[in-house]
Amino acid sequence: QVQVQESGPGLLKPSETLSLKCTVSAYPLSSGFYWGWIRQAPGKGLEWIGSIYHSGSTFYNPSLKSRVTISVDTSKNQFSLKLSSVTAADTAVYYCARQIVGTSGLDYYMDVWGKGTTVTVSS
């Protein structure tokens, strides 16, 4: 059964760079699919951050694109998120997820989610 699990520092200061990893179990990243990051600010809804295809091509939320980098390490079966110049507005639970293609090449849904990791930005 495919599982994903987030890891990384839980506390950052403003202007620092957030770095998280997502470790995938029971499925080789290189075999296919998109792998994405989604976040949820306290008491708010879900926000898609960005995704990486198994080949390494990336797709970012236009509102975060200037600060986001997602990369993949197939040797470790992990993919990573970097978000630069964080502020208090980036405080959230960060989830990683596997994305499966739907009807068209643009339709993807998230079928496997991690439990999430809480990141707090505070001075």
Partner 1 sequence: QSVLTQPPSVSGAPGQRVTISCTGSSSNIGAGYDVNWYQQLPGTAPKLLIYVNNNRPSGVPDRFSGSRSGTSASLAITGLQAEDEADYYCQSYDSSLSGSWVFGGGTKLTVL
By the rule CB under 8 A, 27 interacts with partner 1: no
> What is the rounded CA–CA span in Å between residue 100 and residue 107?
8
How far from chain centre, in Å, is Cα 2? 16
The binder of partner 1 chosen from 11, 115, 118, 120 (CB under 8 A): 115
Which of 13, 31, 62, 123 is in the footprint of partner 1 by CB under 8 A? 62
Residue 22 in the binding site for partner 1 (CB under 8 A): no
Residue among 16 and 116 whose Cβ is closer to partner 1: 116
| Alpha carbons 95 and 46: distance in angstroms, whole number | 10
Binding residue (CB under 8 A) for partner 1 from 2, 11, 26, 46? 46
> Least CB distance from residue 115 to partner 1, whole Å?
5
Q: Which is nearer to partner 1, 16 or 53 (CB)?
A: 53
Amino acid at 107: D
In degrees and rounded to multiples of 5, residue 14 shows phi and psi of -55, 140
Tell the smallest beta-carbon distance from residue 84 to partner 1 (Å). Answer: 19
Place of tokens 């202007």: 15
Of 80, 26, 73, the residue nearest 51 (C-alpha): 80
User: Which residue has 């080789």 as its token pair?
Assistant: 28
80-109 binders of partner 1 (CB under 8 A): 95, 99-100, 102-104, 106-109
